[in-house]
Structure 1
Amino acid sequence: MTRLCCEGSAIMSVPVGVTKFFNQSSNQTSSTSPLPSCGNFPAAWTRHIFTVVYSLVFLTGLLLNGLTLKVFLLGARSSRCVTVYLKNLAAADFLLSLCLPFRIAKHAAASQPLLRTYCSFGAPAFYLNMYASILFMGYIAANRYMKIVHPLGTHFLQSVKAAYVISAVTWLVLLAMTGAYVILSLVTQEAPPLLSAGMASCNDLQSGQLKRLYKVVHAFSAVIFLLVLVVLLFFYGSTSRRLAAAQRRRTASSSKLVKSRRNILVLVSVFCVCFVPYHLVRLPYAVLKPPGCSARVAFFYLKEATVAVSVFNICLDPLIYFLFCNAFREQLSRRRFLGSGRLAVKDEQMSGGQTFRKTSNCPSGSYLT
């Protein structure tokens, strides 16, 4: 069947199905966002992959960072400013682990109510703790570099009081920005018109006011990332130059510089592996807002993959605790010692005390404070 359409003096014969298609398209584009729906994406198999990956990272990160916090809170006293930053980094990683179920549910169910909950609460908390981790990694590197520049620890920034103040200000600033985003999201939340089944982005749920605040928050986050990246690279390069000069002069400080350079290299490596790919994709994704379907889908999958890589940071940070904190290593050694002591008591009860007498020769003072 065809329908006669008049345009000026011309008369055209247009199929009815085509007319219906263009009418539906014009109605949808007038009531929805300018971004295309792009069909039903993400694909089900990709959602299953992300669900499995996030679930494994969640369990591993929760276990490692829960154990780390337990060791820190029960034994490692904050007598050094680096210990304060390490505790805050462990807390940020633990809270980031607790945010992962929101992201797991988003990928597992792919329903609009879960997407709304994730975009209003899960995503802000997720990125709050991610950038808290980034900042505390920068503070740890700065503290190690200050130990090289001021080995006697006389500078104010090397005091424990300064570490507590910097940590508190960091959390307050991040919480203020996140709280403003959450409140505005709840106040200006609109019923999204004609959401397609394949919509998977929080951008489609944002009001105009929220999108403007999002740009401000995103610019602030990008500045944080770039500053910490530049600082880490500068500290590593400066430490390497100092080490090369000390080795040429064959001074006694070269061994300490080797250890400092190794520790900062670990920080730089973890930071670059986890956070650089995400920001290389996130910046164009947030700023350019690709209008085409193919570009939008490609950026979406790249962003999701790099977010999964950035979350792996919570599994790598315990290596930082082990390298940077003597008290953390001592607590782990003490736990191994006490565990072997408990096993020795059981063996002593079964074998008449021989094992107990053997382990009692160990100097307990080196383990206990």
Structure 2
Amino acid sequence: MTTVRKGQFEGKIDRQEFHLRFQANYVQHEYDSVRDALAQVEEIAWKNYVDGRKPPATEKAGPGFADPDYDLSTEWKAAHDRLIEAERRQKDPATRSRVLLVCCAHRNDGTCPGEISKTFRLTEQLRETLESAGIEVDVLDLSRLVSDYDRHIHPCKACVSTAMPLCHWPCSCYPNYAERQTNDWMNEIYEKWVSAHGVILVTPVYWYEAPSGLKLMMDRLVCADGGNPDPTSTQGKDPEKAKALELQGWPYPKHLAGRVYGVFVHGDVAGIEGTRRALSDWLDWMGLIDAGAAARLDRYIGYFESYAESHEALDRDEAVQEEARNVARAVAKAVEALRAGTLPNYSAGLPQPRPK
């Protein structure tokens, strides 16, 4: 058995530091009239923090789990059940074809920039193209992370690096009420990915890389690639049990494999090709199937022109708008072939000498 290494965590903060961090959320004078009530809430929050109360409610896992008597978070169990139902609908040939469009830019006119993003405009063009092909479209606008009240994609805690079975599908790390790691968006996002027959990422380049919101989502989707759908098998987050389970032989199930994908990366100076390759490699690794060369697009819009006129640059570039629509058209055709059973997938069924 391998050793579980310890020694990095510095321990919980003390009561005074907790007080300072808690009250930092309520510095506005409008809260002055309820300071006594806030002090009571703070005392409860402190107790929950010290006790490490992660889920507010649990229920017995029930049939189908390794340990039916294990107390699972009711929120996790509900998310788990929704994913099973979403997978059933996705596999039902009677349902309409569905594509998830992910708008990955942070800019929108509801926050500091005061203007919509080019990415959003392009996403809308792709949506219209897909809908005209008879496809049901689900738009995931990641800019809501910066414009919605208290909406989060919390960081991945890298459970998989301790042992793959410790990474649960869907993620069980959140919400963690003791640490105030709440209002996590990922359960809804997992359901969108599972429900889709195809996925298209439309993203700008931020400092040579994918925007942070997209990267947060990518990291939290690691549980879709080899994750454990049964937290009772590891008794929650027991690293020793998880290590033993992986070393016995783990199948690394690819929960999103077989879906079609397209990627459109745009920028104004640098970084588009590397970002497009990285995103395509990531989706390939998870077992998704690219919809051909036209569906893997990178283009500059307003190359080295002013930021102030970037929307005008997009207005002028009718070619890039048509190329963007071709991403949607290619994915629409691939989804049709996928559901008809005629989409080539030459990797399917091949032995995996290095499963991970």
TM-score range, shorter chain: under 0.3
Give 1 or 2 for the bigger CA radius of gyration: 1
TM-score normalised by L of structure 2? 0.24
- Kindly indicate which of the two structures has a greater share of residues assigned to strand: 2
- Kindly indicate which of the two structures has a greater share of residues assigned to helix: 1
